[in-house]
Amino acid sequence: MSTASDAIVRLQELAELRTATAVPLAPYTRFGIGGQARLFCETAGIETFHAALGCVQESGMRHVVIGGGSNLIVADEGFDGAVLRFTGEHLAGTRNRLRIQAGLPLQTLVDQSIALGFSGIETMTGIPGTVGGAIYGNAGAYGRSVNECVESVTYTDGEHVCMLSNEKCEFNYRESIFKRRKDWVILYAMLSFGEGDPVLMKRKADEIRAIRDEKYPPSMKCAGSIFKNCFFAKLPPHVQSLIPDKVVREGKVPSAWFLEQVGAKGLRVGDIQVASYHANLIYNDGEGKSADVVRIITDLKQRVRDTFGFNIEEEVQYIGF
| CATH fold for the domain made of 91-199 | 3.30.465
CA distance linking residue 246 with residue 302, whole number of Å? 26
Q: What is the pLDDT of residue 278?
A: 96
**Does 176 participate in catalysis according to the annotation?**
no
**Does 174 participate in catalysis according to the annotation?**
yes
CA distance linking residue 171 with residue 175, whole number of Å? 6
Give the list of residues 6+ apart from residue 308 with CB closer than 8 angstroms, or none. 236, 239, 242, 258, 261
Q: Which one of 10, 174, 212, 303 is the catalytic residue? A: 174
Q: Which one of 70, 113, 225, 290 is the catalytic residue? A: 225
Q: What are phi and psi of 297, to 5 degrees?
A: -60, -45
Q: Which one of 30, 38, 119, 315 is the catalytic residue? A: 315
Say which CATH architecture domain 4-86 belongs to.
Answer: 2-Layer Sandwich (3.30)
pTM of the complete model beyond 0.85:
yes
Does the 218-319 domain belong in CATH 3.90.78.10?
yes
Q: Where are the domains of the chain?
A: 4-86, 91-199, 218-319
pLDDT in tens, the chain (321 residues): 567 788 888 888 888 999 999 999 999 999 999 999 999 999 999 999 999 999 999 999 999 999 999 999 999 999 999 999 999 999 998 889 999 999 999 999 999 999 999 999 999 999 999 999 999 999 998 989 999 999 999 999 999 999 999 999 999 999 999 999 999 999 999 999 999 999 999 999 999 999 999 999 989 999 989 999 999 999 999 999 999 999 999 899 999 999 999 999 999 999 999 999 999 999 999 999 999 999 999 999 999 999 999 999 999 999 999
Q: What is the pLDDT of residue 3?
A: 75
Q: What is the pLDDT of residue 200?
A: 97
